[in-house]
Amino acid sequence: MKETPERKKSWFYKWFLNNQLTVVLINIFLVFLIIFLFSKISFVFQPVNQILGITMPPVILALVLYYLINPLINVLESKFHVNRIISITFVFIIILALLIWGVMSLIPFVQSQVDSLVKNWPQYWNSLNKSLQNMFSDPKLHMVKERLIQTNTSVTKSFEKSMDQILPQTMNNLSSAVSVLTNVVVILMTAPFILFFMLKDDKKFKESVIKFVPDRVKGSVGDMLSEISQSLSSYITGQLTVAFWVAVMFFVGYLIIGQRYALILGIVAGVLNLIPYIGSTLALVPSLVIAAFIAPSMVLKVIIVFAVEQTVETRVISPIIVGNKMQMHPVTTILVLLVSAGMYGLIGMIAGIPIFAILKIICARIFNWFKRNSSWYSEEELLETKEKDDSDDTETSEKLHK
């Protein structure tokens, strides 16, 4: 007996087989089910984690250097018609010469400042404690003074206890220290070779990835890879350039006001500036402690230098160099920093924003594909999405050609 169309379109057909919401929910359920199953067999992926732990550090270092050096190699190749391998070799020789110069001239000076700072730091800290105790000698601030003394005593005892434990732990973990040092040496020796082939095969990388992708999505995957590469390049070069100028501004500012250890404090400020929003503020703490030991007026001068640096950085340097290339709202940035810092500490704070930007690009591409293949959206919305994708792809390709 032949079934009628009404019988075919039963409630099961309408609510399950021909219902997009149900299909989406089932797919979500399957994704979480797969994740749950993978979590139960995580031991299978331990070798993969070990391989990634060994290979990723030199690759990440080479990738950072790649985004710094590749624009210069492209300029030498496109405008001056210099062979790419010759350009890479020439740049490597210059970098090696700068490193040798830094080791011979700059490192000893930095080391002397670090040694002096480490030697005098307890004296600075004790002087700051005495100043704070004198400041809170007023009877009205008696309770606050007692709390500060208790806190300082507990911190000092904890520090002394940890220092007593460091020596035996260090002797016991000497092999681990040697292993860490060996890994660092291996990373520094391996990264240049990876960097050389990254620069040499710059244009072949995307092609080698796309050839494994189905033909109908090769265009969109290629555009996505270009967008991710452009985003990472903008972020890495921008952050490192800003960090360099922050270090220079702090160094010059501290020299002008006569602050001790100007060079090492400037370098620390530049490195900590890689942590968005709070890096420069963290770098201010040791400078204030040293300034408090010198004179109260020096504390005020350090604060003025910090205020001037922050004004120049936020109003001039960051908008010109970085701008809003990551296209992230400040609230989103803060939330990403909180989550990444809570999960992975300092490394998470530094790597959280670029990783979030990559995930954002991938999710945006997937969502736009879903809009184009879904009946939930109107023709006008689909047209706007297509026009935006085309404009973004055009902008990305123009930046890459430049």
Separation between Cα atoms, residue 214 and residue 222, nearest integer Å? 12
Grouping H, G, I as helix, E, B as strand and the rest as coil, residue 374 is coil
Residue whose pair of structure tokens reads 């400037």 in the numeric block: 266
Query: Is 313 in contact with 246 (CB distance < 8 Å)?
Result: yes
Query: Is 235 in contact with 357 (CB distance < 8 Å)?
Result: yes
3-state helix, strand, coil in the chain (%, to 5): 90, 0, 10
Give CA separation, 205 vs 163, 208, 211, in Å. 49, 5, 10
pLDDT of the residue at 166: 47
Please classify residue 394 by burial: count the beta carbons closer than 10 Å to its beta carbon, then call 0-12 exposed, 13-18 middle and 19+ buried.
exposed
Q: Give the contacts of 190 (CB within 8 A, at least 6 positions apart).
A: 58
Query: Is 368 in contact with 357 (CB distance < 8 Å)?
Result: no
pLDDT of the residue at 25: 84
Six-digit token pair at 118?
């480490």
Q: For residue 149, which of 161, 137, 163, 165 has the smallest C-alpha distance?
A: 137
pTM of the predicted protein model: 0.74
Separation between Cα atoms, residue 398 and residue 227, nearest integer Å? 11
Separation between Cα atoms, residue 242 and residue 236, nearest integer Å? 10
pLDDT of the residue at 22: 77
Handedness of CA 157, 163, 169, 171 (dihedral sign): negative
Separation between Cα atoms, residue 18 and residue 11, nearest integer Å? 10
Q: Which helix (H) or strand (E) holds 244?
A: helix 218-257
pLDDT of the residue at 145: 60
Separation between Cα atoms, residue 266 and residue 309, nearest integer Å? 11
pLDDT of the residue at 174: 47
Question: With a cut of 50, which residues of the chain have pLDDT below it?
Answer: 1-3, 7, 166-167, 170-171, 174, 400
pLDDT of the residue at 179: 66
Q: Per-residue DSSP letters for 336-401?
A: HHHHHHHHHHHHHHHHHHHHHHHHHHHHHHHHHHHHHT-SSS-HHHHHHHHHHHHHHHHHHHHHHH
Handedness of CA 31, 33, 35, 37 (dihedral sign): negative
Please classify residue 344 by burial: count the beta carbons closer than 10 Å to its beta carbon, then call 0-12 exposed, 13-18 middle and 19+ buried.
middle
pLDDT of the residue at 382: 63
